Chains A and B, each alone.
Chain A
Amino acid sequence: MENNYDDDFIGEIVVNEVNFVRKCISAESSQDDLWGKLICTNFKVSFIPQDAPSKQKSKLSHLLLGEHDIPLTCLEQVVTVNDTKGKKKVLGSNQKLKFNPTELILYCKDLRIIRFCFDEAGPESAKKVCLAIAHYSHPADIQLLFGFEYQGRRYHESKGERVNGSTPRGGLQTPIFDRPSDWDREIKRTGASEWRVCAINENYAISQSLPEYIVVPVSLADQDLKQYSIFYTDQRIPLWCWNHVNGSALVRMANINDPLQQKKIDQRVFTAITKSHPQRGEVVRSDLDKCLPNIQDIQSAFVKIRQICVIDPFEESEERWLTSVENSRWLEFVRAFLKHSAEMVYYLDGKNSSVVLQEGEDRDLSCVVSSLVQLMLDPHYRSLVGFQSLVQKEWVMAGHRFLDRCNHLKKNDKEESPLFMLFLDCVWQMMNQYPAAFEFTETYLTVLSDSMWIPLFSTFLFNSPKQRAQYLMDFAKNKAIPQGEDQVVYFPPVWNWSQQLSTKDQTLFNNPMYVGKGAACVQNGEVKTFRRTKKTYSSTMRGTSASQRNGLKGGEEPLPRRGSLLSELKPDFSPVKDESPIERFFRDWFSRPADQQGVLIPLLLPSHVALWKLFFLRWVPEACIPKGGPITAYHKLSQLVDEIEILQSKLRQYKGPSSGSTPLPSPSAPLPDQRRMYFKASSPSDSPTPPDYLSSSFPFTPVGNLCRRGIHGTPISKFLNGARIWLSTETLANDTV
């Protein structure tokens, strides 16, 4: 096959291409459309515009994918259309097409919809490209996913760069939990002294879906566990997730198939868990299958919310928007998972009880609930590395079927379900409610969700650690990678973000408001350093908000005697008489100022759960607010934090290495490329106005990513050009008295 493709990278082969293709940019007219070449490779669908576009500063530039590229794994549906014949066909692999397509519409898993027109292209080559795209996006086997080709080549080509042929996990900070030491560290970190790492599943001898190393109660011997394992679905014996400081543990397990054995084994296991609790706290079991929506419900909710957000004509879905959102049930499910997780927090934190999450296979709903519970209880998981280790521990290693749930091979639609996406949405809800509690931003969550559809990382490709090990062993054999080489080195996880983004772009992951350990803050006007002592931080972070003040400010009054309208309304009204313990726990928690570094419980009324606009609406041009959106506040905050960090580093230089009261650990001034903030402090000469390219979709751009036909320009769509600039009002403003 000829390879005249410009930007290809190692292992990429052009399968088919067609020239004089028009990529539709605007729904209203074709004058902005781009002309160019449409290419199908073994990795992606690519469009190369004839005229190189001016480099836009406005968006994330991906290191592996160009602006017009779509990885084949990201394709949801390939639709060909013949306008004149009024025909339309959804293409699968190895199919025939009886008409010449005039149009190709690609529905993507990241919610983009992209349209190409073939009015000037050769009909035969257009057809061939369409068929190639459809075929290559339905790989017959997982080994045909491009990652296998790519990582094999990359391994060999970069071999020379490695010192002594070994890169210890590429400097990866995120624990992978594929070795006992990672679990050991987690046991120590959480103080779970009555739990131990158990190796009975080494070489997957017991269970096909559990990791090789698991954590179990000290009082259970390997022999016992082996004996119990035969009764659990897929031999999944109970799996320790996390320990509370008070000694209660979070455990997950599969169902026991044999009802006769169930009581006996349950009793033994629960006794062992109780023994591992310093106060012998009781064990609470939560049967997730009984109280949460199932994976089909979740899939159908996601399909509906996607339908109204990006597929239905914009104007039509404007009517009764909230009702449609409600009918999709997506937010209802998000709430249900958050609510259930918050209840588990009550047992662990409020009642000192250990919690056992039980689910048929323990590989779907459990992943969501166990990781949410840990996010609420443990601030470590709200740091970037901590969050990634959480995903690694509760999803990848716990055997979430990423291959099936993502439907990477498009083999079985019934198995498809966006559980991980649901989890990310729940995380976003918490982030939206506690903007200072997370080290990372919603941009990070969105980029992470997009990474599911790039088949170059081992994280989201497999159903279980065993499957991963097996495929990667075969792969190593095929690619002549020496035995004993670490899989993480030759088929890396997604966590090394420099694989995808520049250092500068990665700073978009940093939340300027994050109050981590070691970060400086202000208390009573004094600069202090955060220490991770529980419940000490009670400044004004969660002060009474406007709504409670009757519209007037309470508290310290600069002006006296305005008593008549002032109110000192506390967040809670009268205690309800027949309140359950769990309600009281929540009420007590909400009546205290929230400690961003302590337990965090989300607000759970429907009015508190919002649609994640960056994720769901970023590709919809009609829904993009030019110069607006939360990013404009982020912009201002980032600049401020950058300025503070420059000042802090200056201070350190003046002081020299001081007594340990330095607010930040890094010893020298941040070099420009080491600065944490994407938006740098502005100099006095800069205009303070946010840059023109900011929009509610930033750092993504909806332009050309979604072109539906039959949309008539709404009056407001004409305004998409956004804010315009006047030149001469300044003089007028100066005349103002």
Chain B
Amino acid sequence: MSVVQVELAVVAPLTALCSVQNLSALRYGAQESLFILDVNLGVISRLETISVHNQGENTKGLELVCKDMRSPRFAYKTEENHPDVVEVLAKHAFPLSHSLPLFAFLYKEQFPVDGWKVYDPTAEYRRQGLPNESWTISKINSSYELCDTYPSILVIPTNITDEDIKRVAVFRAKHRIPVLSWIHPESQATIVRCSQPLVGPSDRRCKEDEHFLQIIMDANAQSHKLTIFDARQSSVAVTNKAKDGGYESESFYPNVELNFLEIPNIHVIRESLRKMKDVVYPTIDEAHWHSAIDQTHWLEYIRLLLSGAAKIADKLESGKTSVVVHCSDGWDRTAQLTSLAMLMLDSHYRTLRGFQVLVEKEWISFGHKFAARVGHGDENHANSERSPLFVQFIDCVWQMTRQFPAAFEFNELFLITVLDHLYSCLFGTFLYNSEQERSAKEVQIKTLSLWSYINSQPEDFTNPFYVDYKHHVLYPLVSSRHLELWSSYYARWNPHMRPQVPVHQTLKELLILRAELQRRVEELQREASSHSLSSSSEHSHSPTHTPGTPLHTAV
């Protein structure tokens, strides 16, 4: 592994050393070791030179605009013989733009657990009770020929021919046909995901597609209806018709009910988070904190997502009706909605391992375009493909953990860690746009999985309050009154934001205390029983205590 170390004397605001090391992180620290702060190179969105005054000659200013809501600024002295820091930084922060490999391919760490084994689609479908008489695990996409952004293993209805499926694929955007994401263990109602139908301005129909949805409806004996949740704003869906996209017409699809969830697109979400950064970093306007958050609309979009997912979950749980979820391409809002609904419906996904499966399945394998949305190693920070959709999803999960503090096995540190490595490029987990690309780049062979790191020390990421709400559907309360700004994530780089005492710390200590006491009680119990062989009665061991208190209290 090649290591480039560039050390720079950085002057104010800190007299500090700044080094680019291991190609992965920028470290700056004060000489008096006031602090050392690492900025992971993957998190850098763009480098900006800034003007610095009063710092003497040969001093330059640099701002690192980061993807995770911070923009540290430096002043540093330029020295002859030293390579320019901006150049070095740019090269390693944006390796793909400089024909360099992503750091994940250089990172060699040994973990006792192999995170690539976390998700096995067949095992996950088997857990759901699949295949069954209506649904089959299909290899039709095993070489990604049917759909290059879908995973190789798909669950599709049993009673459909490959020919029909191919016709459906032609009718659906990017060939993303309706496939099963989750099946209700009792009612057999299913969550099916796909992309928009290519209806176009002339209201094209596709017999096979209509039939396909009919079969999905029929696979659930409990209901003679099918509900389509189109995540988009209805006006946008209409506009999409002009662009050869569109939505299912209720008159062509009998017994189908179409709902628009009115969720804005990736550009709106990106803009919303950009505004949020202005609100939380580097200073906040104390007098207008709340209204400033309102003005970003971030929580409003969180509310839309959670309420959409709750509608989907409720349709399955109470309505026993199968649902089809799509947006335009079925890889952004669709992934958000299906994964959140599954988190509400299935307690397995609320465990540490189960959540990893959920992310691997609904996001990574189904082709959420992580590379495009995050822009790993790419210097084109203004690319309009970028959008924090996955961050938004994790925020929704965090909102749920706030409302149900005992229902999730993982803790806040886990969620923050996942988000940090969404950007870090340290692990292969979130790299590339599709399963096909990942397999071509041999990601599983050449890089490590984030879950290897997490699952090697699960105790750090476990919520001590966790009790298994087995078989419980959990609907978060989708009300502004209960949605909060996740300031320990978004505002954590604001120097004035001091963290609060984590409650779970106390619980961890109590757990240790309990274990310790338990051990000592057992020890003494053993001692007492060996004693009691020689003495007449158990009670004689505690003569000073009120009689009648049993020695062995039942717990």
Contact = CB atoms under 8 A, between A and B. Distances in A.
Interface of A: 309, 314, 318-323, 325-327, 331-332, 433-436, 513, 520-522, 525-527, 539-553, 558-559, 561-562, 564-575, 590, 594, 603, 605-608, 610-611, 613, 617, 620, 622-630, 632-633, 635-637, 640-641, 643-644, 646-651, 653-657, 667-669, 681, 683, 688-690, 696, 715-716, 718-719, 722-730, 732-733, 735-737
30 contacts: A321-B294, A321-B481, A322-B299, A326-B289, A433-B501, A435-B501, A522-B512, A539-B509, A545-B488, A548-B492, A553-B413, A559-B457, A572-B495, A606-B290, A607-B491, A613-B482, A626-B475, A633-B465, A633-B503, A637-B506, A649-B553, A650-B552, A651-B524, A653-B542, A655-B524, A656-B543, A719-B310, A729-B471, A732-B129, A735-B127
B82 interface: no
Contacts of B291: 320, 322-323, 326-327
A637 B507 contact: yes
Contacts of B288: 326
Contacts of B403: 625, 628-629, 696
A545 B499 contact: yes
Contacts of B472: 627, 689, 723-725
Contacts of A637: 465, 506-507, 510
B421 interface: yes
B505 A543 contact: yes
Contacts of A605: 284, 286, 289, 496-497
A722 B512 CA distance: 34
A318 B510 contact: no
Contacts of A331: 290
A559 B419 contact: no
B403 to A, nearest CB: 4
B389 to A, nearest CB: 19
B31 interface: no
B416 interface: yes
Contacts of B127: 732-733, 735-737
A564 B517 contact: no
Most A CB contacts (10 A, CB to CB) among B293, B317, B471 go to B471
Interface in B519-537: 520-521, 524-525, 527-528
Contacts of A564: 21-22, 24-25, 38, 426
A736 B127 CA distance: 5
A84 to B, nearest CB: 34
A552 B503 contact: no
B294 A633 contact: no
Contacts of A611: 481
Contact of A567 (B36, B186, B419, B474): B36
Contact of B406 (A544, A574, A690): A690
A590 B498 contact: yes
A566 B510 contact: no
Most B CB contacts (10 A, CB to CB) among A309, A327, A620, A733 go to A733
A547 B475 contact: no
Chain B, interface residues (CB within 8 Å), range: 35 or more
Contacts of B553: 646, 649-650, 669
B473 to A, nearest CB: 5
Nearest to A553: B460
Contacts of B123: 736-737
Interface string B63-88: 00000000000000000000000000
A632 B465 contact: yes
Nearest to B520: A651
Contacts of A654: 521, 524-525, 527-528, 541-542
A719 B318 CA distance: 9
B185 A729 contact: yes
Nearest to B42: A565
Given A553-B413, A732-B127, A733-B348, A547 B516 contact: no
B549 A565 contact: no
B284 A627 contact: no
A551 B419 contact: yes
A357 to B, nearest CB: 24
Nearest to B345: A726
Contacts of B407: 627-628, 632
Nearest to A606: B289
B420 interface: yes
B495 A573 contact: yes
Contacts of B518: 647
Contact of B471 (A521, A622, A716, A730): A730
Nearest to B103: A564
Contact of B517 (A573, A624, A633, A651): A651
Contacts of B129: 732, 735
A547 B489 contact: yes
Contact of A716 (B299, B310, B544): B310
Given A513-B506, A545-B502, A643-B514, 17 more contacts: A331-B290, A526-B516, A540-B509, A561-B109, A567-B36, A574-B14, A627-B404, A647-B517, A650-B524, A654-B528, A656-B541, A656-B545, A667-B544, A690-B467, A696-B477, A736-B127, A737-B127
B268 interface: no
A624 B478 CA distance: 11
A434 B128 contact: no
The 4 nearest A-B residue pairs measured at CB: A551-B420, A321-B480, A606-B289, A547-B492
Contacts of B411: 546
Given A548-B492, A668-B546, A735-B126, A436 B506 contact: yes
Interface string B181-207: 000011000000000000000000000
B252 interface: no
Contacts of B419: 551
Contacts of A575: 34
Contacts of A545: 488, 499-500, 502
Nearest to B293: A322
A550 B420 contact: yes
B314 A718 contact: yes
Nearest to B485: A607
Contact of A625 (B412, B482, B485, B500): B482
A559 B111 CA distance: 8
Given A322-B294, A646-B555, A603 B498 contact: yes
Contacts of B433: none
Interface string B409-437: 00111001101110010100000000000
Interface in B81-128: 109, 111, 120, 123, 126-128
B546 A525 contact: no
B45 interface: no
A123 B420 CA distance: 67
Contact of B501 (A327, A542, A624): A542
A667 B499 CA distance: 39
Nearest to A563: B22
Most B CB contacts (10 A, CB to CB) among A321, A540, A543, A549 go to A321
Interface string B225-265: 00000000000000000000000000000000000000000
A485 B24 CA distance: 79
Contacts of A548: 492, 499
A541 B505 contact: yes
Nearest to A637: B507
B40 interface: yes
A647 B254 CA distance: 64
B468 interface: yes
Given A527-B516, A565-B40, A689 B467 contact: yes
B307 interface: yes
Given A539-B509, A607-B497, A633-B465, A647 B514 contact: yes
B160 interface: no
Nearest to B545: A668
A522 B480 contact: no
A644 B521 CA distance: 11
B501 A722 contact: no
A651 B524 CA distance: 8
Contacts of B512: 522, 525
A553 B420 CA distance: 12
